[in-house]
Amino acid sequence: MSDVTIAERPAAGPEDILDSIVQGEGYKYGFFTEIEAEEAPPGLNEDIVRFISAKKGEPGWLLDWRLKAFRRWQTMDPPDWAKLNIAPIDYQAASYYSAPKSLKDAPKSLDEVDPELLKTYEKLGIPLGERAALAGVAVDAVFDSVSVATTYKDKLGELGIIFCSFGEAVREHPDLVRRYLGSVVPVADNFFAALNSAVFSDGSFVYVPPGVRCPMELSTYFRINAAKTGQFERTLLIADKGAYVSYLEGCTAPQRDENQLHAAVVELVAMEDAEIKYATVQNWYPGDADGKGGIYNFVTKRGACRGDRAKISWAQVETGSAITWKYPSCLLEGDHSVGAFYSVAITNNRQQADTGTKMIHIGRNTSSTVISKGISAGRGQNTYRGQIKVLSAADGARNYTQCDSLLIGKSCGAHTVPYIDVRHPGAKVEHEATTSKISDEQMFYCQQRGLTAEDALSLIVNGFCKEVLNELPMEFAVEAQKLLAVSLEGSVG
Amino acid sequence: MTNILEIRGLRACITGGREVLKGIDLTVAPGEVHAIMGPNGAGKSTLSSVLAGKPGYEVTAGSVFYKGVDLLSMPPDARAREGLFLAFQYPVEIPGVNNMYFLRAALNAGRRQRGQPELDAQQFLKAVREKLKLLDIGDDLLRRAVNVGFSGGEKKRNEIFQMAMLEPNLALLDETDSGLDIDALRVVSDGVNRLRDPGRAIIMVTHYQRLLDYVVPDHVHVLADGRIVASGDRHFAVELEQTGYAHLCDAA
């Protein structure tokens, strides 16, 4: 285990958390909102792709792009290299489009939302505005596959920042979308990316113009509500020369017995001197203690540092989903560009996660940092899978990777699979990995000071994850710490 | 006045293993400092572990009343919140967890139990400063992770600082003097002396007479082969230094 103590964030923060750790009763987002939805019939064929495109009133070029992706997808096989045990998925059984029929049916203000639900959000420390979003009231939430609304648009507009739903971007800024869509994750990049490209129904779009520093954290909450629907959102984020943006993404889904498919694609483009920070707290429904139900989370996230000195940083806290297959990656094309990946992944009960990153060093003097913290409890299986690739022209490339695994109990598993592919003799690539268990001595020490077993576990786990939690924006860090506690419920006995 | 601790006929074994405590009787009143001495393997550390509720031991007979309440029926964290403090012989490292944060969590857990309002960051800091001053120690350990990379002396000093902050009714000091050089021993024992209080009892478990030169006990007991075989006042320790334990052990 690392002996490095990371400096405290100023102001409040993690110090304030433990006092208010939530002792909940399992998955807190398992509610289902009764809204009449407009759904495509189950199944996937070219007609469905056309149906989705028509529903959204898309231009011909985008329909063609979708169809191209669909045809490629039909020729592809699901990847089988991950250490995941997945029952065969019937792609014809799901519905590929679900939209609330009328936004009038959604609650219009917090007064109309179940007070129990609001209490839950309050306990989790989610700010009021975000509580509203989660409840489907207003702002900036992707509810099933359709973006409900977007806040702060006008304020951002004054700075030339575009922050809107993907559908709106297609209508209002077609040139930008056309220029960048698929430029980082090509349609046939992998099975799930191709599926997403064919059937994505909405998502978020961000463009920050040259030299502009986005003054606020942009955030999107995703929620899968309807039954038997997949969610396929598409996020495209461009930071032009010298721009800066920090983006947060949160995910929840109601509790259901059947598995639901989620296959998202996120593309980031950072031009010269631009910086993008992208943080995710993923809390999709993980299934019950016996592994029944839960979200299948197959996500392709990739950022391109297109210009010199561009920086992209991924931070993720993965606590949910029955299955997570996700490798947020960086293409370090520009000279002196910098990529980072900070990850906490928890698997409890029967959850399985195969997650990590790819850092592809292409330009000169590029550097990357990978910090991965995997926590396994119950019968959870947790795999770090990472690739560090240094191409032959990448003079002065450097990578530092640290993978730490923490085991809680005797029936879980932790696996580390680093691929290192170096084609330049001068590259410096470091990999450190540790595996540890929470010791009885640590637990007793905390309990002897008055902490309950649950609080003690949460404290120790939070300490283990600290280097990653420090990379999250403050509000998210608070929420993430509480989610860690909730996710580990039942793992001390 | 209720005794802080009343141990009657306490027998305990290592779970699934040999019997270590073979009938302990001990009464401790508020304000008293007791020293429990004895040879290695006599059961000294087991006694503090059993009192604190450390897993891995099984009480087979006897009773322990703490402030008039059945101690053995309480889980370890509840004992702690009720004011029972164990200064560990080997304090445990918790990487990534800030020492101050840890202490505040512990302090507020106890305050919640007593129905007192929790301390916010500012009140907590104020309390920290007062205790640092009381113990005459620096704040160098506070910003580091709990016990991580601490020297032996720093760990023991940190235990005493935690004790000062948590203001226990009963403090068990388990071999707090072991592994300390003479300067560290002085710092730690000065701290303990400053924490002597009419409302607080302290039980020091130690192998050596040395600690008792600095922290003078009211009562001294010799624990041998799981029983208290002899007891006396503060002068008894000096006597023991000369005669050793052997004749007492034989008597047991």
**Binary contact (B54, A444; C-beta < 8 A):** yes
For the segment B39-62, what is each residue's pLDDT rounded down to a tens digit? 888 899 999 999 999 999 999 999
pLDDT beyond 90 at A196: yes
pLDDT in tens, B193-203: 999 999 999 99
**Phi and psi at residue A89, to the nearest 5°:** -100, 130
For position A152, what pLDDT does the model report?
A: 63
A306, A271 Cβ separation under 8 angstroms: yes
With CB atoms and an 8 Å threshold, state whether B102 touches A449. yes
Chain B residues lying within 8 Å of A3, measured CB to CB: 95, 148-149
| Nearest-CB residue to A447 (from B80, B97, B162) | B80
Q: Report whether A207 contacts A176 (CB < 8 A).
A: yes
Closest in B88, B121, B145 to A15, CB measured: B121
Question: How does pLDDT run across B59-102, given as a tens digit for each residue?
Answer: 999 999 999 999 999 999 999 999 999 999 999 999 999 999 99
- The answer on pLDDT for B219 being more than 70 is yes
**Looking at residue A33, what is its pLDDT?**
47
Of B95, B97, B162, the CB nearest to A2: B95
Higher pLDDT, A98 or A179: A179
Share of chain A above pLDDT 90, in %: 42
More confident residue, A174 or A20: A174
Residues in chain B within 8 Å Cβ distance of A453: 77
Chain A hits for B81, CB-CB cut-off 8 Å, are 450
Q: Residue B222: name the closest of B202, B240, B243 by CA.
A: B240
C-alpha to C-alpha distances, A134 to A167, A262, A483, nearest whole angstrom: 20, 18, 15
Min Cα distance A446 → chain B (Å) is 8
Tokens coding A387? 């690739």
Q: Do B76 and A444 touch (CB under 8 A)?
A: yes
Give the residue numbers in B contacting A (CB under 8 Å), as ranges.
52-56, 75-77, 80-81, 85-86, 88, 90-98, 100-110, 113, 118, 121, 143-145, 148-149, 162, 166
Specify whether the CB–CB gap between A286 and A294 falls below 8 A.
Answer: yes
Look at B96 and A18 and tell me if their CB atoms are within 8 Å: no
Is residue B174 within 8 A of residue B89, CB to CB? The reply is yes
Q: Is the pLDDT of residue A4 over 50?
A: no
Rounded Cα–Cα distance for residues A239 and A268 (Å): 8
CB A185 within 8 A of CB A267: yes
Question: How many angstroms separate the CA of residue B245 from the nearest CA in chain A?
Answer: 31
| Closest partner CB to A463 (pick from B52, B81, B145) | B145
The dihedral over CA atoms of A160, A161, A166, A168, expressed in degrees to the nearest 10, equals: -40
3-state secondary structure chain A: CCCCCCCCCCCCCHHHCHHHCCCCCCCCCCCCCCCCEEECCCCCCHHHHHHHHHHCCCCHHHHHHHHHHHHHHHCCCCCCCCCCCCCCCCCCCCECCEEECCHHHCCCCHHHCCHHHHHHHHHCCCCHHHHHHHCCCCCCEEECCEECCCCCHHHHHCCCCEEEEHHHHHHHCHHHHHHHCCCCCCCCCCHHHHHHHHHCCEEEEEEECCCCECCCCEEEEEECCCCCECECEEEEEEECCCCEEEEEEEEECCCCCCEEEECCEEEEEECCCCEEEEEEEEECCCCCCCCCCEEEEEEEEEEEECCCCCEEEEEEEECCCCEEEECCEEEECCCCCEEEEEEEEEECCCCEEEEEEEEEECCCCCEEEEEEEEEECCCCEEEEEEEEEECCCCCCCEEEEEEEEEECCCCCEEEEEEEEEECCCCCEEEEEEEEEECCHHHHHHHHHCCCCHHHHHHHHHHHHCHHHHCCCCHHHHHHHHHHHHHHCCCCCC
What's the CA angle centered on A26, arms A25 and A27, to 5 degrees? Answer: 130
Looking at residue B67, its pLDDT comes to: 95
A455/B109 Cβ within 8 A: yes
* Boundaries of every domain in chain B: 5-251
- The residue type of B90 is Y
Measured CA to CA, the distance from residue A314 to residue A302 in angstroms comes to 9
Give the C-alpha distances (Å, rounded to integers) separating B73 from A425, B78, B237: 65, 10, 34
The alpha-carbon gap from B162 to the nearest alpha carbon of chain A, in Å, equals 9
Search chain A and give the residue with CA nearest B149.
A3
| B54 chain-A contacts, CB cut-off 8 A | 444, 448
What does the pLDDT look like over A150-194, one tens digit per residue? 456 667 888 999 988 888 899 999 999 999 999 999 999 999 999
Q: What are the tokens at A468?
A: 């990653």
* pLDDT for residue A340 is more than 60: yes
> Which DSSP helix (H) or strand (E) runs through B13?
strand B5-14
What is the total residue count of chain B? 252
> Is A448 in Cβ contact with B80 (below 8 Å)?
yes
- Tell me whether residues B109 and A451 touch, CB distance under 8 A: yes
Task: Determine the average pLDDT of the residues in A235-243.
Answer: 96
B97/A459 CB distance under 8 A: yes
pLDDT in the model for residue A72: 95
Tokens of A1: 């285990």
A107-111, A339-343, A456-460: which has the minimum mean pLDDT? Answer: A107-111
> Residue A105's pLDDT band (boundaries 50, 70, 90)?
very low
Note the pLDDT of residue A36.
Answer: 47
pLDDT digits (tens, 9 = 90+) for A125-159: 444 455 554 444 333 444 444 443 445 666 788 89
Question: What b/e readout covers A302-320, taking b as 16+ CB neighbours within 10 angstroms?
Answer: bbbbbbbbbbbbbbbbbbb
Superfamily, domain B5-251: P-loop containing nucleotide triphosphate hydrolases (3.40.50.300)
Question: Closest approach of chain A CAs to the CA of B22, in angstroms?
Answer: 24
CB contacts < 8 Å between A and B, how many?
111
Give, in order, the Cα–Cα distances in Å from B89 to each of B50, B51, B129, B205, B211.
14, 15, 26, 10, 14
The answer to whether A445 contacts B92, with C-beta atoms less than 8 Å apart, is: yes
pLDDT surpasses 50 at B228 = yes
Token pair for A283: 């809390």
CA of B201: how far to CAs of B127, B131, B170, in Å?
22, 19, 5
- Do the Cβ atoms of A440 and B55 come within 8 Å? yes
Q: Check CB contact under 8 Å for B94 and A445.
A: yes
Give Cα A98 distance to the centre of its chain.
21
Q: In this model, does residue A124 exceed pLDDT 80?
A: no
b/e burial code for range B207-227 (CB count within 10 A of at least 16 → b): bebebbeebebbbbbbbbbbb
* Residues in chain A closer than 8 A to B125 (CB atoms): none
Interface with A, mutate which of B54, B92, B125, B142 (most A CBs under 10 A): B92
Neighboring chain A residues of B97 at a CB cutoff of 8 Å: 459-460, 462-463, 466
Residue B177 has pLDDT above 60, yes or no: yes
pLDDT digits over A243-264, tens only? 999 988 876 555 555 667 888 9
The chain A residue lying nearest B81, using CA atoms, is A450
CA dihedral over A111, A112, A115, A119, signed as positive or negative: negative
Contact B77 A15 (CB under 8 A): no
Distance CA A7, CA A4 (A): 9
Nearest to A464 among B95, B105, B109 (CB): B95
- pLDDT-based confidence at residue B240 (cuts at 50, 70, 90): confident
Contacts of B77 in chain A (CB under 8 A): 447-448, 450-453, 456
**CA nearest neighbour of A250 among A16, A482, A490:** A482
- Give B54→chain A minimum CA distance, Å: 7
- Chain B interface disruption, residue of A1, A3, A4, A5, most B CBs within 10 A: A5
3-class DSSP state for residue B188?
A: helix
Letter string b/e over residues B123-141, b meaning 16 or more CB atoms within 10 A of that residue's CB? ebeebbeebbeebebeeeb
Interface test with B, best of A371, A435, A449 (most B CBs within 10 A): A449
Taking the CA of residue A273 and the nearest CA in chain B, the distance in Å comes to 33
What backbone phi and psi angles, to 5 degrees, belong to A250?
A: -125, 150
